[in-house]
Structure 1
């Protein structure tokens, strides 16, 4: 009677290495986004689907406009900094204390300057 050969084991080290490399990749890729200005407190809403804000216009409570960490003087200046596809769908990150009429006015000016869609980014509610 012949002895049965032992079944070969699957190499799990290769799988662990791949998972580890993916973890490192996503940790590095996640830090590429511009961090949100710490002086801005987001508006809270519930049950809304959130989106990332890579090219968003940040509006402080006093009405100051910021883009990628730099103060912007006007809506026209902001739109010239965006490439053509980004101008079609503009995102605004308003401070919680920004007056509603200022936000509506800002959105209207963006639409008048050529933005097809104006999205307001808020904090997801609990």
Structure 2
């Protein structure tokens, strides 16, 4: 009596199933994208390349170095907390996100909330 093991079959990777799924996703997105109506050719979209970036009135501007300005004058965070119940912040693009989070957290801790809440 021989106790030899039967040769094990190699399990093949299901690559065909993966290709089928990717193909079906491609077809789905092609069909879903065709449901969007094209923009009317008579419509001219707004050009913002020459738009001057200006802060809204009564907004506190945060410069890249973290200094605050209100109506063009430097202010401190304590002055904003004391005089502005709902401060509007306009951060500079170059302001580090950590600095913006710190300022926002200090305003929230002082009881200031975003408008509408």
Sort the TM-score into its range (normalised by shorter chain).
Answer: 0.3 to 0.5
Structure in which a larger fraction of residues adopt strand: 1
The structure with more radius of gyration: 2
TM-score by length of 1: 0.45
TM-score by length of 2: 0.48
